[in-house]
């Protein structure tokens, strides 16, 4: 009985720093400056600026997620097929950039992509036309893919490692060729990892304001940027909270969609 | 028994410089129930995986009906495998699992439905079509794995320790089921196990393996009654294995006493191993025995008593339905026919004594 | 043929992942202030970096907050695991669900929610608010590292220890704790690295004049990238590399899979 009490400090902590703060977002989001109930903060998502930023954020994060999936799946498969004695080190190499400071990683791409950046200098040396993608949505997508690719590789790899090789052998034994084995057995069994990877790339991409800030040159606003400005510059917490509620609705929708395909919930990363 | 269906010729396989199979030669006849028996690491599973096509031998050939299939991928082979721990597709229903091979062969829907029904009936799982593997017990999963393999009408069914994960009672039931299945299907079974009782119960032929070598091939009776070396004798059943000296044909000196036996051709004054099964030792009055000893331990085993008798500096294991209390002086007498003489192993590689059998 | 294709693919992804980092490392040794030309090997940006008091104080804050928040989170989180583990299924589900909120929610929302809390209770933004925020988002990482280990421990060993005369507390520290220790340690290290890496939550709960490296980098980069930042990147990358090699060393000694 007493054992449960050991969780007491954490329970208090979670109430104070997780539940109450979240309740406050809802309180501010659903009230006006006088404290009376209103839906206008949430409705402000329909303003042209906010709506445009939400649609752009959804589009770019979907695109980044798809690109990450296409790049990560073959990578995870190749890593899984490595011999046991060499794989832990090689896997570490491909996960390592994930631990590098997020802002420095993004700054690196700024350095590479700028008008007088490293890539354009190299192109100039080769007498090729310069690449002008800095401050465009393309640069933002590139930044998202670069930053979040390991979050897609890791869960897929973790699930592939767990597939019993005999299950794959069984499919071959029953007459399936390599392609059929992949489509009917390996891919369906790896779905929990794919789902978890999609969530781990989609949510941070959808809500980022740093990548768009640094690689979009402050001119391209995503929904994250709009919320950040409401809090840090405009100081309108009510509208900021209202937009945050909208953002959370989209996160919940995306989790609902992905969870539908995750029958066993095996795709946890940790 | 008819012609050689499968012929393994000079198979050698190494993993990480460790020799797992060394120049293995073995043939399997049509409709045979053949068991590869041995301790873990003896090469039996590797042999099965080479047959299934999951490993390629470094040297040697695999012939199937006279055709070389050494490099044929698993999906092109006319044999199916029942895997250790079943390897069922957890994301598919039982029916989908069973239909997997048939769908790949593009069989008609009706045919597949019939086959699923037939296979589930054969393994006593009628009505399980829409269940998922996770919801079945170990024994039921095992039956599904067998059903999934046999619907493809393979010429040969490979079974890799299929009963290893089941409890004793279920294992014994499944042994009879497998024999029944084999008789109903009329196909060849190649069975891998480390359980000697399983091998003796089910097989037509047993291949005893150790450290990559075949130690003995024979019927269960041959293997049990006339083990060719100490390893086989020790691995199959309980036995007394004693360093002895072959004096001449039909006379062997065991622990300083001469015993009559029936074996010939081992030479004169040659060291040999002698095997005497515990149930072949008769305990008699001291003056009637060839040698004398004292009972040092008695355990009741249900069917018989297991006794240890100290005699001539050796502890003899004896099974008998009659009981002699600890401390009794007894005589030991053995029928010449029950003294089995074996050559000592020639090389260290061949010698492979396991401590637990 | 297939192997070559796989190698090429690995190499391409490797270049994609590491080219930017290597570029930063090379530029950190460039004598020139301009990326346009190479002006000889120089360590002057490193010297300038260490002379920059603002960056040094941000570094101090980052490490102090990282260590303190990881420590607090590890103690709170481990205790929470033991308590939650002993609960009935329903309340266990509820508390694990609450624990998952900061992991699943957008960082920006967690950040603003904490910001609103501190404003509402009149807390001054500064070192303390950053620390509280970091402990909050670190605890779930500790719980998710320790919980699986706790589930794996055999209840019988704990009971056996008590059967042999140990008090419940002693039985826990002698028998259960050694089993979950790897989870506790990895929870601590995970918390520490998460704290070092965090920008978004810190951005919302920090006060003027108090910076961590992440917020400092953000402020600097928005003004224009200075070569000191390249030097900083190099140092941080090498530190993370070393840290990860240390974390991964013990687990590699164990056999990958035990053959059954």
- How far apart, in Å, are the Cα atoms of B115 and each of A174, B97, B102, B119? 15, 12, 9, 6
Q: In whole angstroms, give the CA distance from residue A203 to residue A251.
A: 7
CA distance from start to end of chain B = 31
- Nearest Cα residue to A29 out of A206, A233, A231: A231
Confidence label for A168 from pLDDT (cuts 50, 70 and 90):
very high
Q: What is the pLDDT of residue C258?
A: 34
Q: In whole angstroms, give the CA distance from residue C69 to residue C135.
A: 5
DSSP A138-178: HHHHHHHHHHHHHHHHHHHHHHHHHS-HHHHHHHHHTT--H
**Cβ neighbour number for residue B349 with a 10 Å cutoff:** 13
Q: What is the pLDDT of residue A90?
A: 80
Stated pTM of the model:
0.81
pLDDT higher at C112 or A3: C112
Average pLDDT over residues A236-242: 89
Class of the domain covering A42-261 = mainly alpha
CATH second-level architecture of B4-225? 3-Layer(aba) Sandwich (3.40)
The answer, for A115 touching chain B at a CB cutoff of 8 Å, is: no
To 5 degrees, how large is the angle CA C107–CA C109–CA C112?
A: 110
Q: Residue C40 in contact with residue C26, Cβ under 8 Å?
A: no
Q: What is the pLDDT of residue B2?
A: 61
The neighbouring-strand residues paired with B270 are B246
Whether A166 sits inside 8 A of B84 (CB atoms) is yes
Q: Taking CA atoms, what residue in C is nearest to A200? A: C104
Average pLDDT over residues A59-87: 88
pLDDT at A86 over 70: no
The answer, for B106 touching chain A at a CB cutoff of 8 Å, is: no
Q: What is the pLDDT of residue A12?
A: 93
Give buried/exposed letters for C33-45 (b at 16+ CB in 10 A, else e).
eebeeeeeeeeeb
CATH number for region B230-343: 2.40.50.140
- Secondary structure element (H or E) that encloses residue B256, with its range: none
pLDDT higher at A263 or C205: C205
Q: What is the pLDDT of residue A104?
A: 86
Average pLDDT over residues B291-296: 93
Q: What is the pLDDT of residue B184?
A: 87
Q: Taking CA atoms, what residue in A is nearest to B101? A: A174
Whether B149 sits inside 8 A of A177 (CB atoms) is no
Confidence label for B34 from pLDDT (cuts 50, 70 and 90):
very high
CATH second-level architecture of C49-225? Orthogonal Bundle (1.10)
What residues in A contact C79, CB-CB < 8 Å?
Answer: 6-7, 9-10
Domain boundaries, chain A: 1-30, 42-261
What residues in chain C have per-residue pLDDT under 70? 1, 34-37, 247-260
Q: What is the pLDDT of residue B218?
A: 93
Counting every residue, how long is chain B? 357
Q: In whole angstroms, give the CA distance from residue A208 to residue C143.
A: 26
Q: C199 CA to chain A: closest CA distance, Å?
A: 8
Instruction: Please tell me which chains touch C, using 3 or more CB pairs under 8 Å as the contact test.
Output: A
Counting every residue, how long is chain A? 270
- Nearest Cα residue to B12 out of B57, B47, B45, B46: B57
Percent of chain A with pLDDT over 90: 39
3-state SS, residue B347: coil
Q: Residue A118 in contact with residue A112, Cβ under 8 Å?
A: yes
Number of A/B CB contacts below 8 angstroms equals 64
Q: What is the pLDDT of residue C24?
A: 85
Whether B87 sits inside 8 A of A169 (CB atoms) is yes
3-state secondary structure C84-127: HHCCCHHHHHHHHHHHHHHHHCCHHHHHHHHHHHHHHCCCCCCH
Confidence label for A261 from pLDDT (cuts 50, 70 and 90):
low
3-state SS, residue B218: strand
Exposed / middle / buried, residue B249 (Cβ in 10 Å: 0-12, 13-18, 19+) = middle
pLDDT at A41 over 90: no
pLDDT, averaged across chain B:
88
pLDDT at A146 over 60: yes
Domain boundaries, chain B: 4-225, 230-343
Q: Taking CA atoms, what residue in C is nearest to A71? A: C13
The neighbouring-strand residues paired with B59 are B12
Complex confidence, ipTM = 0.84
Average pLDDT over residues B219-238: 89
Confidence label for B170 from pLDDT (cuts 50, 70 and 90):
confident
Average pLDDT over residues A142-156: 92
Confidence label for B158 from pLDDT (cuts 50, 70 and 90):
very high
Look up residue C106 and give its two tokens: 């957008």
Over residues B64-89, the pLDDT tens digits come to 988 999 998 888 888 899 988 888 99
Q: What is the pLDDT of residue C35?
A: 67
Over residues A91-113, the pLDDT tens digits come to 778 878 877 788 888 888 888 88
């Amino acid at each position: 009985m007493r054992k449960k009490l050991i969780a007491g400090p954490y329970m208090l902590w979670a109430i104070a720093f997780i539940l109450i703060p979240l309740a406050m977002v809802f309180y501010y989001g659903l009230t006006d400056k006088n404290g009376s109930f209103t839906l206008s903060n949430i409705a402000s998502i329909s303003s042209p600026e906010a709506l445009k930023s939400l649609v752009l954020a959804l589009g770019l994060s979907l695109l980044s997620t798809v690109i990450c999936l296409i790049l990560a799946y073959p990578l995870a498969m190749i890593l899984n097929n490595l011999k046991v004695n060499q794989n832990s080190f090689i896997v570490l190499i491909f996960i390592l950039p994930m631990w590098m400071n997020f802002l420095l990683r993004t700054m690196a791409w700024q350095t590479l992509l700028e008008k007088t950046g490293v890539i354009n200098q190299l192109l100039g040396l080769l007498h090729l036309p310069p690449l002008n993608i800095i401050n465009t949505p393309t640069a933002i997508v590139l930044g998202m893919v670069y930053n979040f690719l390991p979050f897609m590789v890791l869960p897929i790899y973790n699930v592939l490692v767990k597939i019993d090789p005999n299950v794959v052998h069984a499919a071959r034994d029953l007459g399936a060729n390599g392609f059929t084995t992949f489509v009917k057995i390996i891919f369906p069994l790896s779905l929990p990892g794919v789902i978890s990877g999609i969530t781990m790339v989609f949510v941070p991409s959808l809500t980022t304001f740093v990548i768009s800030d640094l690689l979009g040159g402050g001119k391209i606003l995503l929904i994250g940027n709009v919320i950040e400005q409401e809090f840090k510059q405009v100081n309108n917490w009510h509208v900021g909270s209202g937009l945050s509620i909208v953002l959370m609705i989209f996160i919940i929708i995306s989790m609902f969609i992905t969870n539908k395909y995750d029958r066993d919930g095996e795709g946890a990363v940790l | 028994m008819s012609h050689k269906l499968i012929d393994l010729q000079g198979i050698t396989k190494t993993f990480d410089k460790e020799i797992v199979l060394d120049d293995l030669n073995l043939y399997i006849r049509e409709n045979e129930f053949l068991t590869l028996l041995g301790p873990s690491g003896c090469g039996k599973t590797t042999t099965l995986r080479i047959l299934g096509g999951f490993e390629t031998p470094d040297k040697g050939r695999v012939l199937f009906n006279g055709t070389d299939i050494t490099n044929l991928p698993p999906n092109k082979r006319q044999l199916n495998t029942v895997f250790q721990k079943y390897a069922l597709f957890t994301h598919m229903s039982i029916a989908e699992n069973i239909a997997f091979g048939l769908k790949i062969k593009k069989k008609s829907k009706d045919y597949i439905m019939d086959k699923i029904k037939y296979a589930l009936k054969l393994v006593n799982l009628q009505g399980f079509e829409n269940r998922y593997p996770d919801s079945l017990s170990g024994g039921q999963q095992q039956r599904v794995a067998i059903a999934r393999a046999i619907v493809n009408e393979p010429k040969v069914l490979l079974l890799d320790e299929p009963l290893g994960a089941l409890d004793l009672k279920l294992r014994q039931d499944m042994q009879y089921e497998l024999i029944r299945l084999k008789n109903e299907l009329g196909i060849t079974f190649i069975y891998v196990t480390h359980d000697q009782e399983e091998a003796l119960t089910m097989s037509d032929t047993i291949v005893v393996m150790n450290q990559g070598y075949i130690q003995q091939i024979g019927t269960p009776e041959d293997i049990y009654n006339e083990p060719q070396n100490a390893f086989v004798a020790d691995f199959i059943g309980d036995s007394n294995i004693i360093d002895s000296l072959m004096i001449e044909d039909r006379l062997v000196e065991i622990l300083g006493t001469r015993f009559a036996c029936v074996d010939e051709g081992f030479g004169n004054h040659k060291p040999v191993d002698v095997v005497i099964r515990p149930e072949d030792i008769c305990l008699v009055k001291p003056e009637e025995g060839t040698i004398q000893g004292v009972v040092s331990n008695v355990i009741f085993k249900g069917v018989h008593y297991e006794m240890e008798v100290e005699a001539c500096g050796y502890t003899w294991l004896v099974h008998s339905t009659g009981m002699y209390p600890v401390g009794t002086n007894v005589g030991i007498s053995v029928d010449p026919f029950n003294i089995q003489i074996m050559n000592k192993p020639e090389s260290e590689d061949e010698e492979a004594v396991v401590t637990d059998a | 043929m297939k192997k070559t294709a796989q190698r090429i693919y690995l190499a391409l992804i490797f270049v994609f992942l590491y080219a930017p980092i290597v570029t930063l490392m090379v530029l950190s040794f460039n004598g020139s202030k301009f990326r346009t030309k190479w002006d000889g090997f120089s360590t002057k940006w490193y010297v300038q970096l260490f002379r920059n008091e603002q960056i040094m104080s941000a570094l101090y804050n980052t490490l102090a907050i990282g260590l303190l928040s990881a420590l607090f989170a590890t103690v709170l989180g481990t205790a929470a695991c033991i308590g939650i583990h002993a609960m009935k299924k329903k309340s266990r589900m509820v508390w694990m669900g609450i624990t998952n909120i900061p992991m699943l929610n957008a960082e920006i929302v967690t950040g603003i929610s904490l910001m609103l809390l501190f404003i509402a209770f009149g807390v001054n933004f500064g070192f303390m608010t950053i620390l509280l925020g970091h402990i909050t988002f670190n605890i779930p990482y500790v719980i998710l590292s320790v919980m699986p280990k706790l589930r794996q421990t055999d209840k019988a060993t704990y009971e056996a220890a008590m059967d042999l005369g140990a008090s419940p507390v002693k039985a826990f520290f002698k028998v259960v704790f050694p089993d979950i220790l790897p989870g506790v340690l990895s929870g601590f290290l995970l918390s520490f690295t998460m704290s070092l890496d965090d920008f978004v939550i810190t951005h919302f709960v920090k006060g003027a004049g108090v910076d961590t490296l992440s917020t400092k980098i953000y402020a600097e980069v928005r003004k224009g990238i200075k070569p000191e930042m390249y030097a900083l990147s190099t140092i941080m990358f090498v530190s993370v590399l070393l840290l990860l090699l240390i974390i991964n060393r013990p687990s590699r000694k164990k056999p990958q899979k035990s053959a059954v």
